[in-house]
Amino acid sequence: MKAFALAVRFLTVLPWPGAPETPGPADFAKAVARFPFVGLVVGVLLVLIDGALGLFFPLPVRSVGVVAALALLSGGLHLDGLADWADGMGGGDSPESRLRIMKDSSCGPMGAAAISLVLLVKYAALISLPGPGRWQALLVAPVLARATMAVLLAFLPYARPEGGTGAAFAQTVSPGEGYAAAGWALVLCVVLGGLGGLIAALGAAAALTAGLRHLLRVKLGGGTGDAYGAGGELGEGLSLALCAAWWGG
């Protein structure tokens, strides 16, 4: 449970008890394999929040609340990572220059556009899910988003020699933990969403992760905290879009 608590505290703002005070390499590595279960916790909270909002508000307002809850549960860090990553990808001509741009805390036009588009996709997907498939999508998407982050951590070297957010995980995790996270995510998605969950897993997590892994190797020479956050946000948006295509009405 220590590894799970460490994963929850890394990926969310939830004060989950039981995390080791001074985590060791084994704790960080094991935590990565638990990332999909953190997504499941987030998904359950989203279902509860959506249900509570549904007692008082129509579907569009509920959907805004869910999108806001997704951002708040991560402390906005994943959206911040998406913005920095997009600025770096759009403004640099070498890995070094891209990493330097990503380290700048200000949000440029590419970052603002990326955040706006991802939030818009999430909202559009959610208002397309008024029926029973809505709760399935709310469970599946966070699982796949955290699995995307886990696989990127496991299969990419950390690009910043000086370290940074996520470095302790990336420098200790092995491909075995990445495969475990991917496997658990697939199982959870099939159990929670059936064929729709499988389609989302293959289309969002597998395809997106493979593409991002190649892009980050070429453009940055590896992963960074911003890149992992971007992967989570893109995975969440694409998962919800695929769920809307399958269950939407």
Q: What is the pLDDT of residues 226-244, one digit of tens each?
A: 889 999 999 999 999 988 9
- Bridge partners for 158 per DSSP: 223
What is the rounded distance in angstroms from the CA atom of residue 100 to the CA atom of residue 171? 21
pLDDT at 127: 95
Give the predicted TM-score (pTM) of the model.
0.92
Residues 6+ apart with CB under 8 A from 222: 156, 157, 158, 159, 216
When the pLDDT of each residue in the chain is averaged and rounded to a whole number, the result is: 88
The predicted-structure confidence for 168-220, as pLDDT tens digits, reads as follows 888 888 889 989 999 999 999 999 988 888 888 887 767 888 888 888 888 88
Closest alpha carbon to 149 in 20, 25, 42, 21: 42
What spatial distance separates the first Cα and last Cα of the chain, rounded to whole Å? Answer: 40
Read off the DSSP letter of residue 158. Answer: B
pLDDT at 122: 96
pLDDT at 164: 67
The answer to whether the beta carbons of residues 82 and 234 sit under 8 Å apart is yes
Q: Is the pLDDT of residue 86 over 80?
A: yes
Longest Cα separation, the chain: 51
pLDDT at 206: 77
Q: Is the pLDDT of residue 249 over 70?
A: no
The predicted-structure confidence for 51-71, as pLDDT tens digits, reads as follows 999 999 999 999 999 999 999
What is the rounded distance in angstroms from the CA atom of residue 41 to the CA atom of residue 23? 22
The predicted-structure confidence for 104-133, as pLDDT tens digits, reads as follows 777 888 889 999 999 999 999 999 999 888
pLDDT at 202: 80
Return left, alpha or beta for 223; rule: phi > 0 is left, psi -120 to 50 is alpha, else beta: beta
Domain assignments of the chain as residue spans, ordered by start? 50-124+152-249
Q: Is the pLDDT of residue 153 over 80?
A: yes
